[in-house]
Structures are given as structure tokens and as C-alpha cells.
Amino acid sequence: MLAVVVCAWTRLSSARTGVALVYHQVGGKGGDARLEILAAVSGDSFRRQLRHLRRYYHVVPASELLDAVRSRRRGQRFPVAITFDDDLAGHAHDALPELQREGLTATFFLGGISLAGPHRFWWEDLQRAVDDRLIEPDAIPHVAEADVRAALERSPKAIFRVAAAIERLDRPQRADAADALRSAAGPPSADEGLRAANVQALIAGGAEVGFHTLRHDLLPALSDNELADALREGSDELAAVTGTRLEVISYPHGRADQRVADAARAAGFTYGFVTGRETVTADTNPLLIPRIPPALSPGRTALRLARAVASSGSP
Ligand SMILES: [Zn+2]
């Protein structure tokens, strides 16, 4: 209720503001934000979040958000882009049907790693290995044993420390850690990831597809040459499936800096998305557009959105 009041009140403002949201997994019973690296938003919560967005905001594809922000007039709804990261089977099976039911569009940022066969990301292997106690505390190379032990003991947020440690490793070391996690968690099942047909179903269902890089490296940590490669590798293959040029990118782990933004522009991207807590304004750098993670509950997500637009200007 409060969120609705705040939203209605701030709509009187002429602020040229909008919000981008970044989802990962949605559907089912939902996850636990203390114990899961990317806890799923439950199917019920996602449905209610979409309903709220449809009623009170102007939902646009990520590629149109900045233009919508710049052309917003007093009294108009604030523009919002609904985005998803990673090549997750749930995008096609859970997210798309709900979006279609509400008549909303969204942008899916994909790497294309599972176009031809199943794939599971290292952090998904980590989650499984910890949840099902498939790994010993000392079994992940280059990661502190104490952190892995704490995660196995279900200490709140401990698994985030393990994931952050792996994220910071350089490529060869991260490959070591990923190998250990894969051995523990086992190979992906046949339905994991997004096949070419699933990606085409997203497009046919009215969604937009952007790039998220094939190997999901932390881009600011790469050398100039590695960065240029990461922004190109796999993009032609994904574009061949979507049948469109990939105009938008979201940076892996939501992280980019000015050098990454410049490289993305040089690689042909018009808009780039990070993860942050800020709103999008007319002055936002098109290659460094922040996206706010939704809360797991619909009420808290509504409030987070209302606060964001309210912070940008009052009537
Ligand atoms: Zn990602």
C-alpha cells in the first residue's frame, strides 16, 4: 500500500527517472537469501511483482529504457526494464509464461553457453555441492577451508564468501576450483541451460535477448586483449540464433568500469548494464546502466522500486 502511495505521489514529479530490475531464477517455491547465492523468486511472488509493474509502471525492453527515461513527462508512469541474467532453463519454462500472461516484455541476457547442450555454471555446482554436502571443506583449491566449512554448516551468507573468493581468482585458478566443484556436483542434467530452441521461444514470446558473455569472466579483471575477446566470443553464435544484432549487454557478476564500458562500445554494444542500487536518469552512462535486484517478496520489491523513484525527485 505504501509503495502504491509513494509511486502515485512521485508520478506528479517531472523527474526523468526509471529503474532496471535484474532477476535470475524465478518460479517454484522460491529460495533462501541467506543460504543461496542467487535465491529464486518464487513463482507466486514473481507473478505479483509483474502485476504490480504492469499496474504502476511503464515496462519497456532494456534497449528502450534510457530513451523512455529521457522522454518522460510529468504525470506519466516511470519506465522500468525487467531483465534476467544467465542461461537458465527457467527463463523459458517459468519466466516467459508469466510475462506473457501479464502482457509484459523483458530482456534476457545470455552467454549462449548451452545453445547446443546442457550446462551448469560453477556457482550452481557450488550451491549443489554445499546443499547436498557433496564436498569436503578442503576440496576447493584456492579457497579458504574455513569458509567452505562454514557454508557446509549452513552459516548464513557463508556460501557468498566462498563464491566471492572464486569470482576473484584468475582464470586458471578459477578453472581449478570449477573442476573440483564439477567433480563433486556431477555433470549437468539434460534439461539444464537454454538450448537454441528455448532462446528462439523467448524471442517469439516478445522478449529481447542481449549478451552476457560466453565464459562469464569478471570483466574488470581482464587484460585489454582478454576483454576484447570476452566481448566478442560467442556473440555471433547467439546472434545467429536470435536473428538480431546483439545491441545490449549485461556484464557478468554485474560489474564493469569505464574501461569495460569503452570496450563494450567498441565491440558494438549500444547499452551496457551493471548491478547497483541507483535509478536510471537522463544522465546515466548508456554503457553503465545500473540495475536493482528485486527482493524475494512482492511487497519489499514494490517498496524498493517506489523508494528508488521517490529518491530522484519530489513534486
Ligand atoms: Zn551472470
On whether residue 191 sits in a domain, the answer given is no
pLDDT of residue 1: 65
Instruction: Report how far ligand 1's centroid is from the alpha carbon of 159 (Å).
Output: 17
Distance CA 171, CA 157 (A): 24
| pLDDT band at residue 12 under the 50/70/90 scheme | confident
Instruction: Report how far ligand 1's centroid is from the alpha carbon of 228 (Å).
Output: 18
On whether residue 37 sits in a domain, the answer given is yes
Locate all alpha helices (DSSP H) within the chain, ordered by sequence: 2-10, 43-56, 65-70, 89-90, 96-102, 122-131, 145-152, 158-168, 171-185, 196-204, 224-232, 235-242, 258-266, 298-310
Task: Judge if 135 and 233 occupy the same domain.
Answer: no
Q: How many domains does the chain have?
A: 2
pTM for the predicted model, two decimal places: 0.95
Distances (CA, A) of 99 to 106, 238, 270: 8, 22, 25
Task: Judge if 91 and 137 occupy the same domain.
Answer: no
Task: Judge if 128 and 94 occupy the same domain.
Answer: no
Task: Judge if 111 and 216 occupy the same domain.
Answer: yes
Distance CA 306, CA 261 (A): 28
Task: Judge if 207 and 293 occupy the same domain.
Answer: yes
pLDDT of residue 46: 98
Instruction: Report how far ligand 1's centroid is from the alpha carbon of 10 (Å).
Output: 32
pLDDT tens digits for 229-259? 999 999 999 999 999 999 999 999 999 999 9
On whether residue 40 sits in a domain, the answer given is yes
pLDDT tens digits for 99-117? 999 999 999 999 999 999 9
Query: Domain of 166?
Result: 122-185
Instruction: Report how far ligand 1's centroid is from the alpha carbon of 293 (Å).
Output: 13
pLDDT of residue 136: 96
Instruction: Report how far ligand 1's centroid is from the alpha carbon of 38 (Å).
Output: 10
On whether residue 91 sits in a domain, the answer given is yes
CATH number of the domain where residue 23 is located: 3.20.20.370
Instruction: Report how far ligand 1's centroid is from the alpha carbon of 300 (Å).
Output: 23
Task: Judge if 111 and 39 occupy the same domain.
Answer: yes
Task: Judge if 71 and 216 occupy the same domain.
Answer: yes
Given a cut of 50, whether residue 315 has pLDDT beyond it is no
* C-alpha cell belonging to residue 144: 579458504
Task: Judge if 112 and 135 occupy the same domain.
Answer: no
Instruction: Report how far ligand 1's centroid is from the alpha carbon of 153 (Å).
Output: 26
On whether residue 197 sits in a domain, the answer given is no
Distances (CA, A) of 112 to 40, 86, 118, 165, 218: 21, 9, 11, 25, 17
Task: Judge if 10 and 112 occupy the same domain.
Answer: yes
| pLDDT band at residue 83 under the 50/70/90 scheme | very high
On whether residue 30 sits in a domain, the answer given is yes
DSSP for 255-309 reads ---HHHHHHHHHTT-SEEEEE-SPPEETTS-TTSEEEBPPPSSHHHHHHHHHHHH
Task: Judge if 105 and 226 occupy the same domain.
Answer: yes
Instruction: Report how far ligand 1's centroid is from the alpha carbon of 17 (Å).
Output: 25
On whether residue 190 sits in a domain, the answer given is no
Task: Judge if 172 and 297 occupy the same domain.
Answer: no
Phi and psi torsions of 169, nearest 5°: -65, 155
Given a cut of 80, whether residue 3 has pLDDT beyond it is no
Q: What is the DSSP letter of 64?
A: G
What is the rounded average pLDDT of the residues 202-215? 97
Instruction: Report how far ligand 1's centroid is from the alpha carbon of 253 (Å).
Output: 5
On whether residue 192 sits in a domain, the answer given is no
pLDDT tens digits for 109-166? 999 999 999 999 999 999 999 999 999 999 999 999 999 999 999 999 999 999 999 9
Instruction: Report how far ligand 1's centroid is from the alpha carbon of 210 (Å).
Output: 12
Instruction: Report how far ligand 1's centroid is from the alpha carbon of 255 (Å).
Output: 10
Task: Judge if 24 and 97 occupy the same domain.
Answer: yes
Residues lining ligand 1 (ion), CB within 5 A?
A: 85-86
Instruction: Report how far ligand 1's centroid is from the alpha carbon of 313 (Å).
Output: 32
